[in-house]
Amino acid sequence: PIGDGEWINFYDVTQDVALGAAQTMNGYAHLVYSTSAATVAGPHLIYAQWGSNYNYSYYIYNKNITIDLTDGPEPREVDRSGPIVSRSFNLHGYVNDSNNGATIKYAQINVYMYDGLSDVSFYLVLQGGSTNLDETGEFNLDYYISSSTPDKNYTIRVEFSGVFLYSWPNNQFNEHDFYLGAYSNFTDLVIATYELQVIDLADLKILLSVEGSPTLSFYNDANPPEIFKFGEIAHIQVQIIHAGTKDGNTVYLYDDFTNTLITSWVFEGESYSLMYSYNSLKNSIFTYTSSKNYQNVI
């Protein structure tokens, strides 16, 4: 052993603080270190140094750790029928010591998407960021949904289950990972305040009625269309079913035989009614500016 009176320095690498120093006696150095409110929860890598010689160990500070989801999902609405950029959303936050607010180094989190009680995270694809956090404890994750995701609302959950990844490349000394889910203080779950709304802008339906009767896209002898004489007034109702904004778009009424525009109007709300006086009109269709969909009217 080294002689008496040699100074041994102790250091907390995880928190980047000196723990103190002690002199050797019979080859041993003893240091009593008291944790405080400033001590960060979780595993702590510490070392003892004598000259250029080091030795490393860990201690675990069992204190409450929480997830702070500061933003997301953002945006709250994504379009499953669009390109990846239209199907993408972001989650941002930190894993913190809930007592002193310090961030937790090298934590691993998991992100889930739920449809009610069903885990449907298989629809999620991580395209930016990592769920294995670095020394900042920050996560900034970009996800997109697959195009097969049903259009409805989903709950986003972020979980921390007590996994600390101190292994390479996070730690250049004594690499080690910790799986401390058995400690209740080292687990947390946060549910995003806002649901993720998945819509389908390619899904557009134009529902037409004449004199209150729904129209058909084909002729049916058992259910013939309304018959009008020259100069009579037809009452036509239009309902647009679409996830996007309908107000401000234009609906057009065409003569299907001559491909002639008969009339048009700016759509407002969920439905629209008009009266039209017939002269040479034989067969008509409705079209909508944001889609090529149409249905026969008469």
Comparing 256 with 152, the larger pLDDT belongs to 152
The answer, yes or no, to whether residue 157 has pLDDT greater than 90, is yes
CATH 2.60.40 correct for 204-296: yes
Do 262 and 254 meet the contact criterion of CB atoms below 8 Å apart?
yes
The answer, yes or no, to whether residue 270 has pLDDT greater than 70, is no
Grade residue 174 by pLDDT with cuts at 50, 70 and 90. Answer: low
pLDDT of residue 297: 41
Mean pLDDT of 253-263: 77
The answer, yes or no, to whether residue 102 has pLDDT greater than 90, is yes
Grade residue 110 by pLDDT with cuts at 50, 70 and 90. Answer: very high
Q: d(Cα 231, Cα 279) in Å, to the nearest integer?
A: 5
Per the structure block, which two tokens stand in for 270? Answer: 């969920």
pLDDT of residue 276: 55
Residue 139: exposure state from Cβ atoms within 10 A (0-12, 13-18, ≥19): buried
Mean pLDDT of 219-231: 76
* Of 118-132, 140-154, 203-217, 261-275, the least confident: 261-275
Q: What's 65-199's CATH class? A: mainly beta
* Of 12-21, 185-194, 247-256, the least confident: 247-256
The answer, yes or no, to whether residue 99 has pLDDT greater than 70, is yes
Please write down the HEC assignment for all residues of the chain.
CCCCCCEEEEEECCCCEEEEEEECECCECCCCCCCCCCCCCEEEEEEEEECCEEEEEEEEECCCEEEEEEEEEECCEEECCCCHHHHEEEEEEEEEECCCCCECCCEEEEEEEEECCEECHHHEEEEECCCECCCCCEEEEEEEECCCCCCCEEEEEEEEEEEEECCCCCCCCCCCEEECCCCHHHCEEEECCCCEEEECCCCEEEEEEECCEECCCCCCCCCCCCCCCCCCEEEEEEEEEECCCCCCCEEEEEECCCCEEEEEEECCCCEEEEEEECCCCCCEEEEECCEEEEEECC
Per the structure block, which two tokens stand in for 90? Answer: 């972001």
Extents of the domains making up the chain: 7-61, 65-199, 204-296
Please give the torsion angle defined by the CA atoms of residues 158, 161, 164 and 169, in that order, rounded to the nearest 10 degrees: -50
pLDDT of residue 280: 45
Grade residue 161 by pLDDT with cuts at 50, 70 and 90. Answer: very high
Most confident of 22-36, 79-93, 163-177, 205-219: 79-93
pLDDT in tens, 65-91: 999 999 999 999 999 998 999 999 999
Residue type, position 210, single letter: V
Comparing 256 with 6, the larger pLDDT belongs to 6
Grade residue 295 by pLDDT with cuts at 50, 70 and 90. Answer: very low
Grade residue 291 by pLDDT with cuts at 50, 70 and 90. Answer: very low
Do 197 and 153 meet the contact criterion of CB atoms below 8 Å apart?
yes
Mean pLDDT across the chain? 84
The answer, yes or no, to whether residue 292 has pLDDT greater than 60, is no
In the sheet that holds 260-266, the strands lie side by side as 260-266, 250-255, 284-288, 291-296
Same CATH fold assignment for domains 65-199 and 204-296? yes
